[in-house]
Amino acid sequence: MTALEFTLVVWIVSALAGFLGALTGLGGGVVVVPALTLALGVDIKYAIGASLVSVIATSSGAAAAYVREGFSNIRIGMLLEIATTIGAVFGAYLAGFTSTHIIAIIFGLVLLQAAYQSVFKSSPESGPPIESDRLGKFFRLGGDYPLEGRRQKYGVRNVPAGFGMMFGAGALSGLLGIGSGAVKVIAMDQAMRIPFKVSTTTSNFMIGVTAAASAGVYLSRGYIHPAVAMPVMLGVLVGAILGTKVLVRARVKTLRIVFALVILVLAIEMIVNGAMGRI
């Protein structure tokens, strides 16, 4: 494969990853890292470095549109980013002392969880809106978002539980080079009882800050190579912008199922290759 062909393939894969990442709030890294590692033979740590750059691009491309549409909750995002940023630096530091085989297996397990969550998450728009608890009211985290032509109010609960889960999400981001959006969405949707569309869009807003915190560590160790990171970043950015346009106008249940099937296959391959020492 020539350098031009490699760049074109990486760009196409990254555009698809950015599109799916913007739709689901999971970040494009769940597709970029396995694709670069398994299909193109890129060392996993360089793939993670490129993925971190792509996650920043995903957030940049998606966050502006979601804030403009009134979906993202900036107050929630800024509060929870304290935990994810600390976790991201810790995860990135830990990655320098962890075997690539172990990273691949952990990554595969995270993908399995993300696939399950994509298909079986509950519908946050069903039922009456909840009231914020004491901490939710203290930090004024409640808000509203567009729903069927009106503004639907919502409350926020269990802030300490969500804060703790965000630290774990940040550590996964730094260790595996993903936006760890799956954990972020679970924390907001399941623990903090935030509507799913708000959770997804706020996750997209947050993942760029989390990735930036750990990308600096990878850059200092020489794991961000321009020949890989540049086409990944440009592809993910284009895909993320397209994904935002689809999310605000269409149902994404079918796309979730397709996405879950794709990352399920990637998860199995990552676990098998990691366990057999091929990565």
Q: Is residue 122 part of a domain?
A: no
The string over 84-109, giving b where at least 16 C-beta atoms fall within 10 Å of a residue's C-beta and e elsewhere, is bbbbbbbbbeebeeeebbebbbbbbe
Residue 14: give the domain boundaries.
Answer: 3-116+130-140+153-275
Whether 152 has a pLDDT exceeding 80, the answer reads yes
Q: Can you tell me the distance from the alpha carbon of 153 to that of 82, in angstroms, rounded to the nearest whole number? A: 25
Task: State residue 273's pLDDT score.
Answer: 78
Task: State residue 250's pLDDT score.
Answer: 65
Residue pair 185/60 in contact (Cβ under 8 Å)? The answer is no
Task: State residue 126's pLDDT score.
Answer: 54
Whether 147 has a pLDDT exceeding 90, the answer reads no
Among 122, 257, 266, which residue's Cα sits nearest to residue 185? Answer: 122
Q: Is residue 125 part of a domain?
A: no
Whether 164 has a pLDDT exceeding 90, the answer reads yes
Q: Is residue 70 part of a domain?
A: yes
Residue pair 84/168 in contact (Cβ under 8 Å)? The answer is no
Mean pLDDT of 144-167: 89
Identify the residue whose tokens are 């940040």. Answer: 170
Encode pLDDT of 213-239 as tens digits.
Answer: 778 878 888 999 999 999 998 998 888
Q: Is residue 185 part of a domain?
A: yes
Q: Using 50, 70 and 90 to split pLDDT, how confident is the model at 167?
A: very high
The string over 150-188, giving b where at least 16 C-beta atoms fall within 10 Å of a residue's C-beta and e elsewhere, is eeeebbbbbbeebbebbbbbbbbbbbbbbbbbbbbbbbb
Q: Is residue 147 part of a domain?
A: no
Among 248, 221, 13, which residue's Cα sits nearest to residue 146? Answer: 248
Q: Can you tell me the distance from the alpha carbon of 105 to that of 190, in angstroms, rounded to the nearest whole number? A: 26
Q: Is residue 195 part of a domain?
A: yes
| More confident site: 263 or 218 | 218
Encode pLDDT of 100-137 as tens digits.
Answer: 688 778 878 877 877 787 677 655 555 667 889 999 99
Encode pLDDT of 68-85 as tens digits.
Answer: 888 889 999 999 999 988
Encode pLDDT of 44-62 as tens digits.
Answer: 889 888 888 887 877 766 7
The model scores a pTM over 0.75:
no
Task: State residue 157's pLDDT score.
Answer: 93
How many domains does the chain fold into?
A: 1
Q: Is residue 66 part of a domain?
A: yes
Q: Is residue 148 part of a domain?
A: no
